[in-house]
């Protein structure tokens, strides 16, 4: 049975699923590429369309794993990939996208992101993105690891067509709630949360386990439900079918006011500006 995944509006029109599959760590030998692509295919079978990857992940091997997963079913997937800042000149962005398209085995990327701010002028990167859009090689573009001042610089460089900002966000990394998240919400730019369970380090937290036990859930499901409740897109990686099933269970959880209070007490929201954190 397919899932019912909430969708968020994009500022330039259209929508994006609020839950997807991450691939950071894939292609690094922990499991075989076939096993990793099998998990991604299982996600597609269950109705998870959004798959996030990057040219940096395992030097392109993660993109190749995604390419294997979507072979013969490209229409089932919404692919997000990223260009490294060192490649993000106008011509470098175009060349990097071409390489990613080859790894992915597709003729277009749905959402193409600048992985983090770098030395190349943002106007050059934007020009590269817009050229790729005109060529039909990407549908939309966005950024990753941009703090509020970076986003303001992006807008000043003509980047008002930005579709999303992918940042580190989870219960232990709530700094964006002070300024970046409200700034983005005011402009209709959805936040995409990577490492939404802090790469598993959240799972042993006493309060998280207590809340999970009380409702017959898992700590990962509560942590993901928190991110979804805040209106962010969650893209956890799943290494196995069981892990995927566990993550998908978060979609059935609506946190109560009492649970939110308990989470705020255990993981306090920010009270002052905090520099954007990265992993």
**Tokens read off for 267:** 């993981």
106: left (phi over 0), alpha (psi -120 to 50) or beta: beta
Q: At what angle do helices 219-229 and 241-248 cross, to 10 degrees?
A: 50
Helix (H, G, I), strand (E, B) or coil at 86: helix
Q: H or E stretch including 211?
A: helix 206-214
57 is catalytic: yes
Binding residues for substrate: 115
**Tokens read off for 57:** 């992940």
Residue of 57, 112, 169, 194 with catalytic role: 57
- Counting beta carbons within 10 angstroms of the beta carbon of residue 133, is it exposed (0 to 12), middle (13 to 18) or buried (19 or more)? middle
Q: Are 105 and 70 in contact (CB under 8 A)?
A: yes
Number of helices and strands (H, E) in the chain? 10, 10
Catalytic residue numbers read 57
């Amino acid at each position: 049975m397919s899932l019912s995944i909430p969708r968020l509006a994009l500022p330039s029109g259209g929508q994006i699923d609020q839950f997807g599959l991450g691939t950071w760590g894939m292609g690094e030998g922990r499991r075989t590429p076939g096993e990793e692509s099998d998990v991604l295919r299982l996600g597609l079978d269950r109705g998870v369309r959004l798959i996030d990857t990057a040219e940096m992940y395992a030097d392109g091997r993660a993109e190749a794993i995604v390419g294997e997963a979507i072979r013969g079913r490209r229409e089932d997937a919404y692919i997000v990939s990223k260009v490294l800042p060192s490649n993000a000149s106008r011509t470098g962005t175009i060349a990097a996208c071409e390489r990613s398209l080859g790894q992915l085995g597709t003729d277009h990327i749905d959402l193409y992101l600048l992985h983090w701010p770098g030395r190349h002028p943002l106007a050059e990167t934007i020009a590269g993105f817009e050229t790729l859009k005109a060529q039909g090689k990407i549908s939309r573009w966005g950024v990753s690891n941009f703090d509020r001042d970076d986003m303001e610089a992006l807008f000043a460089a003509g980047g008002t067509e930005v579709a999303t900002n992918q940042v580190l966000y989870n219960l232990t990394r709530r700094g964006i709630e002070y300024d970046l998240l409200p700034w983005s919400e005011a402009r209709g730019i959805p936040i995409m949360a990577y490492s939404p369970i802090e790469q598993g380090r959240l799972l042993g937290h006493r309060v998280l386990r207590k809340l999970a036990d009380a409702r017959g859930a898992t700590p990962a499901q509560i942590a993901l439900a928190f991110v979804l409740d805040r209106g962010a897109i969650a893209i956890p990686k799943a290494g196995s079918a069981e892990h995927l099933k566990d993550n998908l269970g978060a979609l059935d959880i609506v946190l109560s006011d009492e649970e939110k209070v308990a989470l705020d007490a255990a993981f306090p929201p920010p009270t002052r500006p905090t520099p954007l954190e990265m992993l």
